[in-house]
Structure 1
């Protein structure tokens, strides 16, 4: 474990020990590497908060200036995103579109206490599948654009992901529009229908926005972190904060709900990773389940070893990381098969057929993947 990662572990905890943090800063920390690693893990706001409480310690002027520039930029962007969320919420309500906001500014407010307490770059909304097109129109009316082609292209190549991305270049902001919480090939601990049934209001600026209830947020964070392979401390910190701030949650019931959706181990893995990396106790109701799962223990050890490796840097997620969501081998096998036969934008980029022939991608994709596999072994 590097000294820089140890510092970040401390700031990412729900209740950082400032004396231990101050001591860690003096243990041969490479401050330039610390700032770079904090950016990679998405925990610069937490680092800034702790540094402010210890009067910046021995932070060199160059690295302090870099963090201060980030603070100003981050604050401006979070205000922009909060304004966009308020505007979009009003537009969606005016069009009678049901939606729930999650992650982004709403998660920062719910778990960190202010808009800039957490690092994020976009807004995430989930709407019913039948209202996706109208929600797209609302987003596009705010000068956002899709970098993923036109509507026909997205439906063909991106709809299995069950989310579309929209960006506004001049503001460097983005909106992810979802109609489910995971791709169509894997299960997820939280069903979209559950989001509607128990949504709660949250005030963002001068607008009340529907967000996930705390139990549903717990399932969302466990599922999202697992889907992404727990490759950033930010995601571990999110889940750890929720566990710490809501000791009254019925974790046995949450685990039961996740198991019904065939991904109960995602909840156990989230608790185990939060304990191993950030010393947050596993909820008592789940202790025996975590201890009794060899797969959860192996995955926790793999995550911790990867993050602690001095050569590690957070990386892009491969196509099969989200298979960790699947409790059963049969679901993992089915997901791999579905991914093999489902066309993607990459297939179109490799062989640009006209729309009339797009159906051919269902045949060419397995052949292309097989050819790549043969080349990889050559």
Structure 2
């Protein structure tokens, strides 16, 4: 079915257009030769790494006539692909070991991302990147889980928690194994509070089992996984195409059912009525516009909301501008002076935060405003004040927040 969505794609440069063509899940389409012309291949490689889609691109160019791609580009993509495959195999082994150890100690866990998700979505762990293992647990088990990970040789990443705020601001903690060079993020929520979401027990009942490793590991049920990926990508403005590629693959497999509408309503994202689901609509519109994801008639019911379309266009701006910011030669590319570059960063930061504010519910917006006014441990890391002067963090909060935003490098 043709997807007739309006979107401002004029900002897409040649390198990003080619990247999108090589990222989508359609293996049968012949890519037009003109798309390979006038390409800055160094910029293309940087974008492929930033968007974490180089495994998909390498896999695709091996199936098409790649005579237009310089050999050094193919070789670089192959090296990145090989390194990622080794990393995913390492994470797979660790995933099985951790699952077995936790089960022996009567702790249930669900994998949110990582090799098990790559295998489920792409059928091949080498086609998706993962820098760590994301594990969901019951919050009441957190202290036990921390001890178990410490027993396995992991070290907890320490933060300045002078303002005791992690319990309501954070939804995960990171642990790192110094010898294995593996990071594990322990989540006690799918998303930051105060979003409504299913309890761990609900998710556990709908879990699926993977035998990717020698020991059974468990991960989210189909609808729960889809909605988690939609909400995660939307919350981050889809600035990495890898998240959208996941949606593209799941839709092409026709893994979305009416059940996800019921679950989504519990997630507090059901803003605009029965057939106007905000975040699913945004994700499907983006996938259709950028990755040419085919949408069947029932999928179009998600995409009719004006707000979904508006947020999709804002996300396209995020994808383009944050991707450009990641390029090492951003100042030369834009040919702008230092002052204008500084102004550009402020504008992009404001635009991105406006986008993040727009996807929140009324309750979330209220709490977000209170959060902005409340000092955090990051403020202490930004500027150290003696304890008797801690009260100054309240009036300084807006300035410290602004300073961090304009100096932040997106990871």
Partner of 2:330: none
Asked if the contact 2:208–2:221 (Cα under 8 Å) also holds between the matched residues in 1, the reply is yes
RMSD in angstroms over aligned alpha carbons? 3.1
**Structure with the higher helix share, 1 or 2:** 1
Q: Could you tell me which of 295, 304, 310 is aligned with 2:316?
A: 304
Q: What pairs with 1:178-327 in structure 2 (closer than 5 Å)?
A: 178-184=187-193, 186-187=194-195, 191-247=199-255, 249-251=256-258, 253-264=259-270, 265-282=278-295, 284-291=297-304, 293-308=305-320, 312-313=324-325, 322-326=356-360
SS of 1:312's partner is helix
Aligned partner of 2:175 among 157, 166, 170: 166
Q: Classify the secondary structure of the residue corresponding to 2:133.
A: strand
Q: TM-score, normalization: structure 1? A: 0.85
**Within the alignment, does 1:135 sit opposite 2:154 as a pair?**
no
Structure 2 residues without counterparts, runs of 5 or longer: 1-11, 271-277, 328-347, 406-411
Native 8 Å contact 2:379 2:393 kept in 1: no
What CA distance in whole angstroms lies between the structure 2 residues aligned with 1:224 and 1:276? 19
1:333 aligns with one of 355, 362, 366:
366
How many residues align structurally? 363
Greater CA drift, 104-113 or 168-177: 168-177
Listed as ranges, the gaps of 5+ residues in structure 1 are none
Cα distance in 1 between the residues matched to 2:36 and 2:402? 51
Match of 1:367 in 2: 395
2:133 and 2:67 map into 1 onto residues whose CA distance is 34
- The answer (yes or no) to whether the contact 1:147–1:166 under 8 Å persists in 2 is yes
TM-score in terms of structure 2 length: 0.79
Could you say which residue in structure 2 is the equivalent of 1:14?
25
1:260-303 CA-partner distances (Å, limit 9, x unpaired) = 33213222221221112112234533524521x22211111122
Q: Is the 8 A contact 2:282 2:308 kept in 1?
A: yes
| Partner-residue secondary structure (3-state), 1:280 | coil
Alignment of 1:60-99 (within 5 A): 60-99=70-109
